[in-house]
């Protein structure tokens, strides 16, 4: 990141209003302002006139992919600690201040990012910015709080273990990926969380949490340029050099079927099937997004109709494709009353072959695009949803991704969907994880 005068020159160039595209292609509000501050902090402001709320959302370019095997879960642990006290604020004080303003705070960790957001009435923007800036720069990681949050995180991991649909997806990523860090669970492993020290948490925080690795998004009922000035005032003193991200090794293609089976005291069989898909940097992912909605979103989706309602080989079915910086997984999660997944798996592969032969109907294609666009627009209608969309784009892709995503989804054609089905959904090369009921003796 450039420093000094060059940084200010970049800031001036980027401080040009960008109008977000409307469905008909015309320009409309909100107005998006983008600036890189002298300390390297990226700032994005989106004004939503008439909104009573404002969200301040800080996105850090660090996630579970940036951990070592020995510290798997440290990014998530740091996320739990950031609002737990600073050099100026005692434990619980940030939460109390936000609640007194009529707002709330939350945070989340992913493979490629960690983000922290504060939602308050629009008039309280300055207070929200000051609190978030204090937490990002001055978190103390008090020893007693580390132990309290260790217990909380272990409870979270236990809940995942005891929720079959979540557990098989967690295991699927660990089965499908062999060298890429997406193979490691975002929440961490029980063994690491039990042993990780406060010093390790502090080292990770100091290594990755700095302005050059952060995007602060402000979205809601605020004046854009006034909000930009408030961000400058809140964050101007943050100075910390961060370590650049190390590129992850490329995951080799799946060869054949990679299977993992676990038997437990559960009532039904839950299984997940996954294929390596495209990254956010590959234009194929727009067609894959549409395909996922056509096959698994809602009661009218093809595989829900065929596998659950007509053939009755599964009781529940859902499809996922998390957008990520590097190639992610296209996966199906289902439950079946059968003792194992074999009959449902065969039926699923028959559907995959039919898809590769005939693609989607025009009706299925249009339904999927309509659903996808409606969900995106609904999420971005709130200040919180808009801030999350902008922060994710700036951190995992680029800001243009936010502006052009729906345009590219609308442009997806049937032949593109057929091509990605052939490219990624191979009925002879996939990973499968199943959690089966223990048989009675």
The residues annotated with a catalytic role in the active site are 79
Strands 114-121 and 104-109: antiparallel
Number of H helices, E strands in the chain: 16, 12
Cis peptide before 30 (omega within 30 of 0): yes
Phi-psi region of 239 (alpha: psi -120 to 50; beta: other; left: phi over 0): beta
Alpha helices in 322-413 (DSSP H): 342-358, 362-379, 383-396, 399-410
Q: What's 289's DSSP letter? A: H
Buried b or exposed e, range 383-392, using 16+ CB within 10 angstroms? bbbbbbbbbb
Strands 257-264 and 430-437: parallel
Nearest in space to 183 (alpha carbons), one of 133, 254, 114:
254
Distance of alpha carbon 188 from alpha carbon 154, whole angstroms: 9
What are the DSSP calls for 204-234, one per residue? HHHHH-SGGGEEEEEEESS-HHHHHHHHHHH
> Do 429 and 352 touch, CB atoms closer than 8 A?
no
Nearest in space to 338 (alpha carbons), one of 272, 268, 287, 398:
268
CA 85 to chain CA mean position, Å: 26
With residue 433 as reference, give the H or E element that holds it: strand 430-437
3-state secondary structure of 434: strand
């Amino acid at each position: 990141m450039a420093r000094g005068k060059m940084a200010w020159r970049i800031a001036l160039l980027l401080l040009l209003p960008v109008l977000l595209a409307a469905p008909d292609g015309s320009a409309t509000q909100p107005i998006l302002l983008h600036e890189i501050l002298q300390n390297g902090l990226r700032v994005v402001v989106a004004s939503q006139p008439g909104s009573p709320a404002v969200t301040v959302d800080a996105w850090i370019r660090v996630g579970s992919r940036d951990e070592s095997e020995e510290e798997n879960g440290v990014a998530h642990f740091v996320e739990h600690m950031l609002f737990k006290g600073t050099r100026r604020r005692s434990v619980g004080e940030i939460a109390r201040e936000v609640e007194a303003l009529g707002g709330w705070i939350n945070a989340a960790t992913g493979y490629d990012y960690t983000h922290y957001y504060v939602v308050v009435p629009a008039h309280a923007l300055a207070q929200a910015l000051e609190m978030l800036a204090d937490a990002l720069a001055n978190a103390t990681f008090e020893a007693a709080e580390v132990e309290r949050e260790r217990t909380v995180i272990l409870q979270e991991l236990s809940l995942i273990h005891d929720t079959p649909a979540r557990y098989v997806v967690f295991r699927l990523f660990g089965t499908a990926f062999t060298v890429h860090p997406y193979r490691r669970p975002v929440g961490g492993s029980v063994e690491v969380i039990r042993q990780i020290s406060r010093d390790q948490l502090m080292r990770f925080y100091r290594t990755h949490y700095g302005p050059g690795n952060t995007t602060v998004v402000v979205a809601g009922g605020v004046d854009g340029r006034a909000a930009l000035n408030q961000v400058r005032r809140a964050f101007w003193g943050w100075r910390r050099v961060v370590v650049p991200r190390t590129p992850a090794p490329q995951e080799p293609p799946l060869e054949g079927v990679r299977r993992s089976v676990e038997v437990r005291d559960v009532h039904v069989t839950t299984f997940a099937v996954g294929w390596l898909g495209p990254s956010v940097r590959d234009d194929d992912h727009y067609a894959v997004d549409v395909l996922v909605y056509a096959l698994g979103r809602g009661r009218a989706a093809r595989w829900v109709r065929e596998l659950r309602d007509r053939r009755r080989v599964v009781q529940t079915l859902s499809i996922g494709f998390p957008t990520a910086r590097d190639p992610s997984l296209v996966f199906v999660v289902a439950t079946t009353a059968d003792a194992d997944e074999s009959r449902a798996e065969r039926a699923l592969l028959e559907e995959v072959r039919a898809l590769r032969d005939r693609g989607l109907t025009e009706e299925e294609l249009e339904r999927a695009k309509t659903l996808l666009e409606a969900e995106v627009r609904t999420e971005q209608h709130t200040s919180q949803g808009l801030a999350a969309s902008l922060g994710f784009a700036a951190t995992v892709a680029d800001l243009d991704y936010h502006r052009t995503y729906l345009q590219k989804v609308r442009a997806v054609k049937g032949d593109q969907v057929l091509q990605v089905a052939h490219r990624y959904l191979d009925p002879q090369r996939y990973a499968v994880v199943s959690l089966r009921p223990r048989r009675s003796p």
